[in-house]
A = this chain, B = another copy of it.
């Protein structure tokens, strides 16, 4: 993946995944596939799983294990109340940053 994208994803990938999880419980493999479909073609599987471990440890999601027809059991993640609050803060932070950058891009300094 491009180095710029790699650095830019720091902090935002988490928000992207949490946003996807809103009202839409999903498991790791599924999330990875979705991300690739969104254009994040080079996201490594390991990155997603590590992220999921982290947000679970931070108490932002609930986890439920479900059997799969085609492989090992799935770990289905769903956003909980803390996660929703965290995601709201994420949007606030991102909104500020995006606004600053947008005005920089159009107006110049």
The residues of A with any CB-CB pair to B shorter than 8 Å are: 2, 4-12, 14-16, 19-20, 22-24, 38-40, 89-91, 93-94, 96-98, 100-102, 104-105, 108-109
Contacts and interface: CB of A to CB of B under 8 A. Distances in A.
Contacts of A2: 89, 93
Contacts of A19: 101, 104-105, 108-109
B20 A101 contact: no
A26 B20 CA distance: 41
A6 B4 CA distance: 16
B4 A101 contact: no
Contacts of A97: 5, 8-9, 12
Contacts of A93: 2, 4-5, 8
